[in-house]
Amino acid sequence: TQNLLEILDDEVYYDIVIEVGNEPHVKSFHAHMVILYYRSPYLKRILSINKKKVYDNLVHIRLPNISPEI
């Protein structure tokens, strides 16, 4: 479990960027896709169905209908 905690805090080896909110209130979160895929049914649907934008081997998802505060 200690290794998993280290992975969650890792800012080097993340593979997904999630942008939430609308301009000018946008916030980006770096995360690990495999963890999101298996822990969140909502994000699992998004990752499975929607086309993803890939930049430099990163998956980029925009969720403008979600407030950055959430």
22 vs 9, which has greater pLDDT? 22
For position 25, what pLDDT does the model report?
92
Extended beta strands in the chain, E state: 16-20, 27-31, 53-55, 58-63
Q: What's the length of the chain? A: 70
51 vs 9, which has greater pLDDT? 9
9 vs 37, which has greater pLDDT? 37
Q: What average pLDDT does the chain have?
A: 83
CATH assignment at residue 1: 3.30.710.10
Is residue 68 included in any domain, yes or no? no
Per the structure, the count of domains in the chain is: 1
Is residue 20 included in any domain, yes or no? yes
